[in-house]
Structure 1
Amino acid sequence: MKLLLVYAHPVETSFVAAMRDAALRGFAQAGHEVRVVDLYAENFDPRMSRQERIDYQDETKNTGQVRKHVDDLQWADGLVFVFPTWWYGLPAILKGWFDRSFAPGIAFHMAEGGKVIRPALKNIRLLVAITSCGSPWWFAKYIGEPHRRIIMRGIHALCGRPCRRVWMAHFKMDSSTEPERARYLQKIENRMAAIR
């Protein structure tokens, strides 16, 4: 498969970086072709500009400033997101990447007459999210896991059919032990190596 891995963490020595590397090892074992987008390393601007918003619904203009990211989206068979859970959600840089790259005509087609938007990411057959979270699993569930809903429901609705979903989360990150973290990294590697 052709996989686009979108990574969002500002510290290159973080546990989230280790999560990314574990996923990449698994993908290499399975023989997948992977492109990595490191949003912080490329200093991606998550803010939609005034002009981008004005041009948002114009499919001839709305991808000019994010063309490389749109090309990556259209190249991929699968999307993989590796990020920390901050304030029960996505890091702002990743949310901004969705705002700017998932434009009409690319990720969806605008609704007409009050109907629901139509999916445009029909090339995407796999959706993976790998995250860490400081809270215990039950508290994340209590809050409602907005980040999980955005990816596993919202983005999934824009993808091809069928589209497999994989959600992996390491809870109680702030108090987890080295052996627990090592087990999670191995679980990531094994799970990604099993994807065909």
Structure 2
Amino acid sequence: MKETKKELSPAQRTELLTILKTRFEKHKNRHQEIVWADVQARLESDPEKLWVLDDMETTGGEPDVVGYDKKTDEYIFFDCSPESPKGRRSLCYDRKALDARKENKPKDSALDAAKAMGIELLTEEQYRALQQLGEFDTKTSSWLVTPADIRHLGGAIFGDRRYNTVFTYHNGADSYYAARGFRGSLRV
């Protein structure tokens, strides 16, 4: 079976680039030394990454540029929605946790959904860096990449912001809540 190429129509591409540019200009504090024209040129040369950004956008992530990696020559996008993306909530942590649930299974796991989208879950370090750019997850929480030793014991970690402080907590990896989703990162 031949895989369909993931590419937006010209109209969809124009609409997404307009949304991303508007967000980029509105939140200059997230990317002070980055020029939009450079980001746009990179995006226009990589239709599959535009497809991924569109998926991040349509699931409520509000992706925005948060950095540039000089070593790899890549722009870094994170989900910057005020709360955990609405279209990516009520998920357990990973496939192992999903398969272990006998009743009331969620529709998917955060790791599987991220992989299907073509993004990576934020690490705790990335999540804390995001929180330096604004206040995120003041009413929700987001699954984070969990260290193997914690996951081996059945747990997973998530983060949120309460009382003007960023917290990292733990939960069983098979748990899921209406107010917990995941945030992703994409390199372009």
More helix by share: 1
Q: When the two structures are superposed, what TM-score results if normalisation uses the length of structure 1?
A: 0.29
